[in-house]
Structure 1
Amino acid sequence: MKQLALLTACISALALAPLASAQTAEKAPAKPTAQKAAPKKPAARKTTRAKAAAGGAAAAAVVPQGVKWDCELGNHLYIDGDMPRAEVITLNWKGANHKLPRQTTVTGADRYYDPQSGLDLVVIPSKAMLFDKRAGQRLTDECQTEAMRAGEAAPTQAGALRAPVVAPLLVPQKN
C-alpha cells in the first residue's frame, strides 16, 4: 500500500513539473543568457605502458645509473647492479628504468626477464642482447661495455664462478 502511494506521488510530481517550469518561465524577465562552457572532463590517467610508449618528458627525467653498454645502431643501455651476484638488476632503456630479475638457464648465459614489461636481457661473454617478448622482436644487439671492447669478457655469473687462471693447465715440466 505504501509503495502504491509513493508511486502515485512520484507520477504526480513528474506530471506537474512541466507546468511549474512554464509558469516560472512566464514570470521571469527575458534576459540574454550566456552559454556556459561544458565542464572539463578529468584527464585520463596514463598507464605504465602508455608512459613508456610516449617516451616524452617523463622518460627524460630519469637519469641513467650504472654501466653504459653501447649497442648497434647508436643505441645505449645502462645496467645498474652487480651482474655476477645480484638477483635483480636495473636496466635503463630508452630513458625508463626496469627491474629485471635473474632467470636460470642451462646454457651458461645470464638472462634477466621481466614479464610485466616484456624486456628480456641475455648476456653472453662477447655481448648482450635485449629482446621484447611481447612484440616478439630483438630491440638491440651487439651491446658491449668499454672493457669488453678492450678484450675482456662480459661480467656474467658463469664467468665469476670460474676459477681465475693463474697458470696454464699444460705447463711443460722441467726435468
Structure 2
Amino acid sequence: MHIPFKTLLISAVLLVSHSAVHAKDPKETHSWSCNNNHQLKTIGDGGANIGLVWNAKTYEMKREVSLPGSLRYKNHDTGLDLVVLGNKAMLFNIRSGVRLADYCQTADMKTGKEPHLFAKE
C-alpha cells in the first residue's frame, strides 16, 4: 500500500499540533493552602525541577529520590525541602530544622485527587 508523501506530511503536522495543544503547560502554577493560613505555589508539572513560591520569593526546587508514595523537592542553597504525599504536602527548612508549612493541599487535593506533581512520577 502506497501512501503519498503529502498525506504523510499533513498527518504528521496534525499529530504534532494536537499533542502541543493538549500537553500540560510546564509553567503551570498551582496554589496550595496550608494550616495556619500559610500559602505556597508550585510552578511546573512535577518534572526534575519545579518552582516554589514561598513568602513572595521564587525558588528552584530539584527533585530528589524519596520514599515510595512521596515526592521530595529541595533547594540546597536555602535549605527548603518540599515533601509531597498523596493527601498533603509539607515545607521544611532542613537547615534550621523547622516545619514552615503543614497540611498543604491544592483545590483538587481537597476533593480527593492526587497531587498534580505525581503525574510525572
TM-score, length-normalised on structure 2? 0.72
Question: What are the within-5 Å matches in structure 2 for residues 1-175 of structure 1?
Answer: 66-83=29-46, 86-157=47-118
Aligned length: 94
Is this contact kept in 2: 1:110–1:124, CA < 8 A?
A: yes
Tell me by how many angstroms 1:156 deviates.
3.8
Tell me by how many angstroms 1:151 deviates.
1.5
Q: Distance between the aligned counterparts of 1:70 and 1:126, measured in 2?
A: 13
Q: Distance between the aligned counterparts of 2:84 and 2:103, measured in 1?
A: 10
Higher Rg of the two aligned structures: 1
Is this contact kept in 2: 1:125–1:155, CA < 8 A?
A: no
Task: State the AA in 2 paired with 1:148.
Answer: M
Is this contact kept in 2: 1:124–1:156, CA < 8 A?
A: no
Q: CA RMSD in A?
A: 1.6
Is this contact kept in 2: 1:126–1:148, CA < 8 A?
A: yes
* 4+ runs deviating over 6 angstroms: none
Q: Distance between the aligned counterparts of 2:120 and 2:72, measured in 1?
A: 15
Using the aligned pairs only, state the percent identity. Answer: 35
Q: Relative CO higher for 1 or 2, CA cutoff 8 Å, sep ≥ 6? A: 2
Q: Which residue of 2 aligns with 1:51?
A: none
Q: What are the ranges of 5 or more consecutive residues in structure 2 without an aligned counterpart?
A: 1-27
Q: Distance between the aligned counterparts of 1:88 and 1:111, measured in 2?
A: 11
Task: State the AA in 2 paired with 1:74.
Answer: N
Q: What are the ranges of 5 or more consecutive residues in structure 1 without an aligned counterpart?
A: 1-64, 162-175
- Greater strand share, 1 or 2? 2
Q: Kindly provide the CA deviation profile for residues 100-149 of structure 1, in whole angstroms up to 9, marking residues without a partner as x.
A: 00001233310001110100000011000000011101101100000111
Q: Distance between the aligned counterparts of 1:89 and 1:130, measured in 2?
A: 14
